[in-house]
Amino acid sequence: MKRNILFILCTLVGLNAFAQMAGSTSKSYKIITENPITSTYETGYKGFVEIGGGIGNRYTIGAYTTHGYQFSSFLFTGIGIGVEGAISNSDIRKVFIPIFGELRLNMRNPNTHKNTPFIGTRIGCNMVTDGERGVYFNLFTGYRIPLTNLLAFNFNVGYQLHGGDSELRHLAFVHIGIEF
């Protein structure tokens, strides 16, 4: 009985070693490690420029820029500023200036996957041309499409909250932009 068990174990170990040796020249390993877009996400400076609009208890159109540090292929943090124009019954021709900190997380590694979904948040303060001040909160999700090794196109949608002296303003928005 012991001989039969020992014989079966030796046979299985031998088959496993043969399978590993045969698979070491597989092309599937090379496909995973070779990326047509290389050095896309290295640590260091990264910037974003976006335009977009929102709809909610007011309508807005705006431009935003964020600059910061890419800590890894997954994590970006930075600071930014925006300019939003609003038109609604209560906000006729007001200009909002959000100043915020941003945290952005890639859901997949951009060095191994060409197109990458991401999530992020912006938290800060909101200045208004009439002297009103308040909180600024923005939660978004989006998709990153690389154009070159240095540039990428970003599309994101999300929820935005402006809190001021008089009221809270809720928006659903769409932004498009360039990452450099």
Q: How far apart are CA 29 and CA 93, in angstroms?
A: 58
This prediction has a pTM of 0.72
With H, G, I as helix, E, B as strand and everything else as coil, classify residue 36: coil
For residue 11, what are the contacts with CB-CB under 8 A and spacing of at least 6?
none
Q: Which two three-digit tokens encode residue 67?
A: 């600059």
pLDDT beneath 50: ranges in the chain: 15, 17-24, 26-36, 38-39
In Å, how far from its chain's centre is CA 158?
12
In this predicted structure, what is the pLDDT of residue 20?
Answer: 47
Q: How far apart are CA 156 and CA 143, in angstroms?
A: 6
CB-facing half-sphere around the CA of 69: CA atoms within 13 A: 1
In this predicted structure, what is the pLDDT of residue 45?
Answer: 93
Domains of the chain: 2-33 (no CATH), 44-179 (2.40.160.20)
For residue 4, what are the contacts with CB-CB under 8 A and spacing of at least 6?
none
Per DSSP (E only), the strands in the chain are: 44-56, 59-70, 75-87, 94-106, 116-128, 133-146, 152-163, 168-179
The tens digit of pLDDT for each residue in 41-79 reads 678 899 999 999 999 877 889 999 999 999 988 899 999
With H, G, I as helix, E, B as strand and everything else as coil, classify residue 16: helix
**141 backbone dihedrals φ, ψ, rounded to 5°:** -135, 150
